[in-house]
């Protein structure tokens, strides 16, 4: 069995990541991506398959989302507890990926196996998202900055854990005073809607208010960029984007105001104000 101590790598990556932050990270959500490969030199076990094993230190109550992709073979996943027992296996499919989402019932050294059949060879990408128990629900009556911190923490893992009923027992968190929130299926971003109407002055005021609030929650380790009104496709937009100062796939938050007058898009009103949070892929 080939073991790879991902817990050490996750700790090193996360430690360097939070050095560029100050006010964030009350909620711990980790993410790691591994480029692996199954070869004929890897272990093979009858009735199990050819496999790579990844050892991960986990703690009781943590939530995990494991997903593996491959263009070369149909992978599967097996999640084994510290006693050596298979705790979870991915469902069978023929879509070149496998997924396990669960909570951890016991602390210790767990092993995640990427598995193929006897003839399997080829590369794969394994992504692991791990959240501490306090990052699985936002406390009631949290203030704006705490809610923003919660969302930024989940942006570390591209919101893999935020909207999953298997582990998150509350509705999708809304930024304070927003009237709607959703995860964009195309780019994986979190979006909160603040204004939808036909009054430009109200839209501008909403845009300014939410921008000022977000700036107050962040520190000097975030840089911001202003985009004045410009045409995008068949509508107009202006925005403020704050991006953290890190070379490791920075997170960002964009506050945008859209003008849909003359647009062919099916928008009920002329103006909308939206906050978008995401991390560079």
Q: Residue 25: its pLDDT value, please? A: 59
pLDDT < 50 regions, the chain: 1-24
> In angstroms, what CA-CA distances link 276 with 239, 255, 280?
11, 6, 13
**Average pLDDT for the chain:** 89
Q: Which residue shows structure tokens 């002055």?
A: 201
Q: Residue 4: its pLDDT value, please? A: 38
Q: Residue 1: its pLDDT value, please? A: 33
Q: How far apart are CA 10 and CA 280, in angstroms?
A: 18
Q: How far apart are CA 194 and CA 186, in angstroms?
A: 21
pLDDT digits (tens, 9 = 90+) for 157-184: 999 999 787 888 788 999 999 999 999 9
Q: Residue 125: its pLDDT value, please? A: 98
pTM of the complete model:
0.87
Domains, the chain, with CATH or none: 3-135 (2.60.120.380), 174-279 (no CATH)
Q: Residue 213: its pLDDT value, please? A: 97
């Amino acid at each position: 069995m080939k073991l790879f101590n991902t817990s050490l790598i996750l700790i090193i990556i996360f430690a360097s990541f939070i050095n560029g932050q100050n006010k964030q990270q009350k909620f711990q959500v980790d993410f790691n991506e591994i480029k692996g490969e199954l070869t004929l030199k890897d272990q093979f076990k009858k009735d199990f398959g050819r496999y790579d094993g990844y050892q991960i230190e986990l703690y009781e109550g943590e939530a995990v989302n494991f997903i593996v992709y491959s263009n070369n073979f149909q992978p599967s996943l097996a999640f084994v507890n510290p006693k050596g027992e298979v705790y979870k296996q991915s469902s069978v499919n023929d879509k070149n990926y496998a997924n396990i989402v669960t909570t951890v019932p016991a602390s210790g050294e767990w092993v995640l196996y990427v598995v193929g059949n006897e003839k399997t060879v080829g590369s794969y990408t394994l992504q692991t998202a791990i959240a501490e128990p306090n990052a699985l629900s936002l406390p009631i009556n949290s203030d704006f900055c705490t809610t923003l911190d919660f969302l930024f923490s989940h942006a570390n893992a591209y919101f893999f854990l935020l909207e999953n009923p298997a582990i998150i027992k509350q509705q999708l968190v809304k930024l304070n005073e927003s009237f709607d929130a959703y995860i964009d299926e195309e780019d994986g971003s979190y979006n909160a809607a603040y204004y939808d109407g036909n009054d430009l002055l109200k839209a501008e005021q909403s845009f300014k208010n939410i921008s000022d609030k977000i700036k107050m929650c962040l520190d000097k380790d975030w840089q911001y960029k202003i985009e004045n009104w410009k045409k995008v496709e068949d509508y107009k937009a202006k925005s403020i984007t704050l991006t953290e100062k890190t070379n490791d796939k920075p997170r960002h938050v964009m506050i945008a105001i859209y003008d849909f007058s003359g647009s062919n898009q099916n928008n009920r009103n002329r103006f909308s104000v939206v906050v978008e949070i995401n991390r560079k892929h």
